[in-house]
Amino acid sequence: MERSVNTKLDLWQKVRTLLAIAVDEDLEILQFDVKTAFLHGKIDELIFMEQPSCFNDGSGRVCKLQRALYGLKQAPRAWNKRATGSKNKKVSVVNGGSVCIGGSYTACTSRLYVDDGLLCCWSLTVLKELVKELDAEFEITIGDPSNFVGLEIYRDRSKRSIAIGQKNYIKRHQLIAVCDSDWAGDADNRRSTVGYIMTFCNGPVAWSSRVQKTITLSTVEAEYMALTEGVKEVKWIRQLLMDLGRNQVTPTLLFSDNQGAAFLTKNPQHHRRTKHIDTRYHFIRNEQEQGVVSVEYTPSDKQPADMLTKSLSGPRHLKCRQMLGMNVDPIGSEGVLK
C-alpha cells in the first residue's frame, strides 16, 4: 500500500488574517519555534537504519525506527500529524490550525514552515499558560514576532497598526544590473566598449565586455546603447529565475553613470544629437514602461562595470571587485605563474 508523505501547507492569507484580527482587537502576539520538531513525529510503517558508527556493537544488526528523523521523507507529515493530534486538550489544534484553550479561540498557528507559529490571545496570562503547555508538550522557544519565516512584522500598539513586508528578502534576492560604456575608447576605429554585470544574492552571475559594432557620436549615445544590451540580458535572467522559482516581483534596477542616457530611457523625445539612434536600441524604453527594468543613475565612483570597459589602477580595480562582493579569492595563489 502506498503511503502518503505529503504535509499540509497553510497559506499566507491565514497569517495576514490572524495579524489583522490581532491588531483590531489589540491582542497579545507571540512567535514560537518548536525545537527538533521532526523528532516528535511517530511513523506507522517499518523503517530500519544501520547502527550509527559510534554505537555499532559489531553484531551486524540494524535499528528499527520508532520516531521520524530529519532527512526521512515521512518526517514532515509525521510531525504534522503529531502536532494536530495532541492528546493534551489544552493544546489541541483544530480547524486547520486554530489552537483552543477551554473552548475559546485564542490563536492560529501557521504550519507553512512546519515548526514556526504565531500565538495571539486577549489575555497575557492565558497566553503564558498556553506557552507553558506547549513547552511541556514539545519544547519551544518564544519571541516577539518581528520576523516570521522571512515576513517582517512591524507593530505599533499605540496607533493600533501593523505593517508587514519582505524588504530584506526582496533586496537579498533581487536581480541588479550595472552597465557602462567607454566612448570611442578604441584608438584605431573609435568604437566604444560596452560592459554589463548582473548580480543576484550579493554576487555576480552574468557579465559581458565587448566592442560595439557601431560608431557612436556621443557618450550619451554610447551609454544608451549599452543599457539596451544590458536589458536584453536582464530579460533572459528574469525568465530563468522565474523557471527556478525566484520570480522577480519588482523591476530590476539597471544602473548607469550617465545621467543623459538614463534620462533618455524615460523621455522618448527626439533631439538633434539623438534622433538618429537606431530603433532597435529604443527597446529599453518599452521594457521600462512594462516594469521589467528601472534605469537609475549612479555616480562613476560607485560604478563597478568600469572594470569591464577600461583599464583601471590597482586600487580602483579592487574597489570595483569589492562592490560586487568579490572580496576573497577561494582558490588562492597556487598554480599561478609569476
Q: DSSP strand E in 109-192: where? A: 116-121, 140-143, 147-148, 151-156, 161-165, 176-182
Highest-confidence range of 44-53, 92-101, 182-191, 216-225, by mean pLDDT? 44-53
- State pLDDT tens for residues 299-334: 988 888 888 888 888 888 888 888 888 765 555 544
DSSP 47-104: -EEEPPGGG--SS--EEEPSB--TT-TTHHHHHHHHHHT-S-GGGEEETTTEEEETTE
Ramachandran angles phi, psi of 297, nearest 5°: -90, 140
pTM greater than 0.75? no
CA 125 vs CA 28, 38, 129, 143, 322: distances in Å: 10, 29, 6, 16, 51
171-323: CATH topology is: Nucleotidyltransferase; domain 5 (3.30.420)
Cα angle, residue 256 at apex, residues 215 and 276 outer, rounded to 5° = 35
Distance in Å from the first CA to the final CA of the chain: 66
Cα angle, residue 17 at apex, residues 16 and 19 outer, rounded to 5° = 65
Rounded Cα distance between 291 and 137, Å, is 50
Q: Where in the chain is the domain with CATH 3.30.420.10?
A: 171-323
- State pLDDT tens for residues 208-249: 988 877 777 678 878 888 888 899 999 999 999 988 888 888
